[in-house]
Structure 1
Amino acid sequence: MTNDSSLRTRPVPTRLAGAATVAAGAMFLLYPAVRPAGDAAEVVASGAWVASHFFAMIGFILVPFGLYALLQMTDDRRARYALVTSWIGAGLVLPYYGAEDFGLHVIAARAVREPNVGFTELAEAFRFDPLAAGMFAAGLILLAVAGVLAALAVWRSGTLQRWSGVPFAAGLLLFFPQFYTPAAVRTAHGVLLAVGCVWLGMTLWRSRRI
């Protein structure tokens, strides 16, 4: 008869999870650094717009890897809740980013060729659609909650550097507000989130638990 322990999922090595979290930091750093300033049709139609939003999406996909490893390293229930909220949050955020990256890009490219298309009206119709905007806001809120829970789990773990989760949590908490700030502040936020991801990722990398 098969032993129950053999049916358990093999843990994610912390070095792999740490590398994924560090990579997420690089993506969040590139996102505002590459993103062109403004929202005019010419800006959204550019390749830099597509690349920057693509970097952000990859960052959101990679974040839960680190939280999954954190769950395996601590018995704190906050780590479990952080993982679940990050998965759901990323899932809610990604469709909006995909529409910004690919849908608006196509509309903007056409508006550049045909000025009568009315890009601003179409962009606002999408961005302020109740369902789309609601999903996006809910996703960012859940990611912020995941960051705070992860920081608390790290703080109470007793085996990880206590402060390593704090910049990570701060970066996720400020993700939504930074949309309403100048480009320089958005770039600074990218640096903060990158530092948070890299610090947490390196902490996981150096852990000997797994």
Structure 2
Amino acid sequence: AAIEQQMSMTGASMFWLDALQDCKLDQSLSLPFDRYRLSNEHRTGRGTTISSDFGQDLSHDFLIHASSNNISLEQLALATYYVFLFKLTNGENDLCIGINTHGRYRDELNSIIGMFVNAIPLRCQLDPHLSFHKFTKRVQNNMINCMKYSYFPLQRILNQHPNISNPVFLDTSLEFISYKSNNAIMIGDSQLVPAPFPFNMNEDERL
């Protein structure tokens, strides 16, 4: 708490107010769905993860593109995700999604035990006429700026928009997890790779 009091809340407040100006935080993206979900439907917090393998060639090109353009894998994945959402929504060019940050924005917090995760909005005003290279650089700069002020609590960001009753932008999010594993199991043409979970689940919560 003492460390947070030392952070510039005024600068962070001004940044988020400007970044989300005229952003429709309570408007859902027109994404395809398999069933209609009621706005007041009770949520259990459970979900299903579906993974797909890009293949060795595409994965290699992804790594090379990130390295040669001096952009992180997470930033490149975010830019690709925005383009994917742009196509799914038939050209929606003002996209806002949620992303969880680790919250340890200062070295002093790295050795402290506790939950520091903070969700922040990441807005992208996509120009379809930009080249992908220029677009990824724009996404990179935007993400760097947002992470700089990621310590600003989500609730205080939402308080800047009192007319927003339901921040549905949090329904669409991106979580980038990078890990290495040498325990791949081949079954026919399929490869199974164990993925670590950053949290614990009870037996009755597993799907």
TM-score, normalised relative to structure 2? 0.24
Higher RCO, 1 or 2 (CA under 8 Å, sep at least 6)?
1
Relative to its length, the structure with more helix (as a share) is: 1
TM-score, normalised relative to structure 1? 0.24
